């Protein structure tokens, strides 16, 4: 996805371009027709959505809670709290959404995690010691006696 799509969403408007370039590969565009149910109350919270174009209505137990439009987001509560969908969201016009899957959020975190620059030494507690190819720690590390 091009970063210009993300820039149109207020949540991402102030994010520097280099940071948006790391987010963009994890986002996809989806188009939904008017009247189509996008998420259902009580369903799994697997996606975060931002509205690029169009409008949606948000309902809980059949009562209309809100009308959302370009720049608005939904689905973040369920993703962050790992809970079921708290409302049903239905397209009230043809709608274009930016979608980020919940598993993409963890991939995004891992991809953007700072890499340690410290080399290990016996006096350094900030980095892990190097591992041998078999994963048993550095030479001379304490090991149980065999036999």
pLDDT digits (tens, 9 = 90+) for 119-129: 555 555 555 55
**61 pLDDT above the threshold of 90:** yes
Does this model's pTM top 0.75? no
pLDDT at 124: 52
Angle at 120 between CA 146 and CA 139, to 5 degrees: 20
List of domains in the chain: 3-111 (2.60.120.10)
Residue found by looking up tokens 């980095």 in the block: 127
């Amino acid at each position: 996805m091009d970063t210009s799509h993300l820039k149109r969403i207020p949540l991402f408007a102030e994010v520097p371009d280099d940071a948006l370039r790391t987010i963009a590969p994890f986002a996809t565009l989806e188009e939904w027709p008017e009247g189509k149910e996008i998420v259902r109350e009580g369903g799994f919270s697997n996606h975060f959505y931002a509205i690029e174009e169009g409008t949606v209505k948000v309902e809980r137990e059949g009562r209309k809670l809100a009308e959302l439009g370009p720049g608005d987001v939904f689905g973040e509560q369920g993703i962050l709290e790992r809970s079921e969908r708290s409302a049903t969201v239905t397209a009230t016009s043809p709608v274009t959404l930016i979608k980020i899957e919940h598993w993409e959020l963890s991939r995004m975190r891992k991809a953007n995690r700072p890499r340690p620059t410290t080399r290990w030494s016996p006096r350094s507690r900030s980095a892990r010691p190097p591992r041998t190819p078999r994963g048993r720690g550095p030479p001379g590390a304490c090991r149980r006696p065999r036999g």
